[in-house]
Amino acid sequence: MANSTIEVKFNQIFINNTFVNSVSGKTFTTFNPANKQKITDISEGDKADVDLAVKAARKAFKLESKWRTMGATARGHLITKLADIINVHKVALANLETLDNGKPYEDSLTDINNAVSALKYYAGFADKIHGKTIPTNDLNFAYTLTQPVGVVGQVIPWNYPILLLAWKWGPALAAGCTMVLKPAEQTPLTALYIAALSKEVGFPDGVINVVPGYGPTAGAAIASHPDINKVTFTGSTEVGKIIMEQAAKSNMKRVTLELGGKSPLVVFDDFNVDEAVKIAHDAVFSNMGQCCCAGTRTFVQEGIYDEFVEKAAKLASEMKVGNPFESDTKVGPLIDETQYSKVLNLIESGKLQGAKLEAGGSKVGDVGYFVRPTVFSNVTDDMRIAKEEIFGPVQQILKFKTIDEVIERSNNTEYGLAAGILTKNIDIALKFSESVDAGSVWVNCYLAVNPLCPFGGFKQSGQGREMGEDGLSGYLEIKTVSIKKHL
């Protein structure tokens, strides 16, 4: 692959297919969470830079622009080319992702494969988005046009930087939108790299813009921008509320939110215990627990509770914590000091509130933000560890007796992102799936996230859906055209 022309400037902002300095000239530092060392300085975007990026995106969205006139099939092919070039550069991207985020290298590769799949899925959609003709019962001929919503602002977090970029870019590009992405301040590197790749494959100027910076400055400039038509955000519920408010107060831009969770995974005693322990383990410890849909409330039926706890604790203590570039490492560092102290503080609260520590429960050294995989048993619903989103490698095992009881307790939370149930009883599985407040329900598995399936939250876990065909609707405006017939 001739990639010698690709030039990534990690210390600049990507606007209108060009790397430029921030207007203020300010910079911020991105760190390696495995050793707290500085990686590099990044140009710090703020309102003035977001303004420039929006101007470029608006120009690229004009009806006569190269982007809007290229045809839906060609647009789809361009998205496929982006997916392919990401795949070609996956080793470099995985290295950067692990350096900046701390996740094990194999996990970075998995994220990239999933990002490529998401882009390819939406690439195929580009020329299959169309309206309807409507029998109006009067003399009008009516049809609908499905048009791109316009300039889209995208604010993403640090837990899956490449994957969430693809989740935002795939449907936005398939729909024909243009966009301004703000990566998380902790993990700006891979978005800048992929921006350079998008230029290489031929995206016209201004379609894709990447402005790194902080939330309350660059992020807020996106949420409150008068010329952005839609904002899509993944992150905390707290910031999701601010984004909604700013969107409403500025120009009532459309809003899609994918927020936090405190998802239940319910294990019935008819299910193989060893398999259940493994599924529940992966549900909570994937990505060091820094996963919005992590199954952090493990409800286990009383008959198998003790056996389950013992096996879960053993599995957690066997996981290798350490350098994320070593192939047998399962647990890398948490993302930063804030996350690290939040997680350690919640672990202490669990001990103080009377949960029984079965594994882990402490940090590992002081070189990076490492926390030992932690398992608590005898957890009750009122404890902080059972209520708050921990976003760390901490499993809460709760005991239950009946299906009705566990449904009520599963739903006793402000969140509603995901839920899982492990049982051989189809009636129990059906009842749970119907009753639980969750955007995704996984039966006899967990984390079955797939680009073909809509993903999103009930209650305070979000607004709207991403992925699948439903994920496109947030990027489209429906226009009804009625034409009077004279004959």
Q: Tell me the number of residues near ligand NAI by CB under 6 A.
A: 27
Q: Is 258 a catalytic residue?
A: yes
Among 215, 368, 468, 474, binds ligand NAI (CB under 6 A): 215
Residue closer to ligand NAI (CB basis): 204 or 219 = 219
SS3 for 393?
coil
Which residues touch 280 (CB under 8 Å, ≥6 apart)?
265, 267, 295, 298, 308, 312, 395, 422, 446
The reply on whether position 236 binds ligand NAI by CB under 6 A is: yes
**Contact call for residue 239 and ligand NAI (CB under 6 A):** yes
d(Cα 266, Cα 10) in Å, to the nearest integer?
44
Of 177, 291, 292, 293, which one is the catalytic site residue? Answer: 292
Set 44, 97, 258, 389: catalytic member: 258
Least separation in angstroms between residue 273's CB and ligand NAI is: 30
Give the nearest distance from C-beta 214 to ligand NAI in angstroms: 6
Q: Give the C-alpha separation, 246 to 403, whole Å.
A: 41
Nearer to ligand NAI, 97 or 185 (CB): 185
Closest CB to ligand NAI among residues 288, 331: 288
- Residue 211: exposure state from Cβ atoms within 10 A (0-12, 13-18, ≥19): buried
Contact string (CB under 6 A) for ligand NAI, positions 284-303, x = contact: --------x-----------
Helix ranges restricted to H, 378-423: 384-387, 403-410
* By CB under 6 A, residue 216 contacts ligand NAI: yes
Shorter beta-carbon distance to ligand NAI: residue 60 or 222: 222
Residue 248: enclosing H or E segment and its boundaries? Answer: helix 237-250
Which position among 104, 148, 161, 235 is part of the footprint of ligand NAI (CB under 6 A)?
235
Shortest distance in whole angstroms from residue 389 CB to ligand NAI: 4
* CA pair distance 330, 348, nearest whole angstrom: 23
Restricted to residues 143-182, the positions that interact with ligand NAI (CB under 6 A) are: 155-157, 159, 182
Between 97 and 358, CB nearer to ligand NAI: 97
Site for ligand NAI in 384-413 (CB under 6 A): 389, 391
Q: What is the DSSP string of 316-381?
A: HHTSPBS-TTSTT--B---SSHHHHHHHHHHHHHHHHTTPEEEE--SB--SSS--B--EEEES--T
Q: Is 214 in the site for ligand NAI (CB under 6 A)?
A: yes
- Among 435, 316, 430, 434, which Cα is nearest to 372's? 316
291 catalytic residue (yes or no)? no
**For residue 373, is it left (φ>0), alpha (ψ between -120 and 50) or beta?**
beta
CB 324 within 8 Å of CB 98: yes
How far is it, in rounded angstroms, from Cα 247 to Cα 255? 7
Contact between 223 and ligand NAI by CB under 6 A: the answer reads: yes
For residue 90, the Cα-to-chain-centroid distance in whole angstroms is 19
> Can residue 456 be called a binding residue for ligand NAI (CB under 6 A)?
no
User: Minimum CB separation from ligand NAI for residue 91, in Å?
Assistant: 26
Nearer to ligand NAI, 6 or 242 (CB): 242
Any contact of residue 234 with ligand NAI (CB under 6 A)?
Answer: yes
**Which residues does residue 362 pair with via DSSP β-bridges, in sequence order?**
none
Indicate the residue among 121 and 455 with the shorter CB distance to ligand NAI: 455
Of 376, 368, 303, 281, the closest CA to residue 332 belongs to 368
Choices 39-47, 59-67, 233-241, 355-363 (CB under 6 A): range interacting with ligand NAI: 233-241
Q: What are phi and psi of 372, to 5 degrees?
A: -70, 135
CB 179 within 8 A of CB 22: no
Binding-site ranges for ligand NAI (CB under 6 A): 155-157, 159, 182, 184-185, 214-216, 219-220, 223, 234-236, 239, 242-243, 258-260, 292, 339, 342, 389, 391
State the catalytic residues: 258, 292
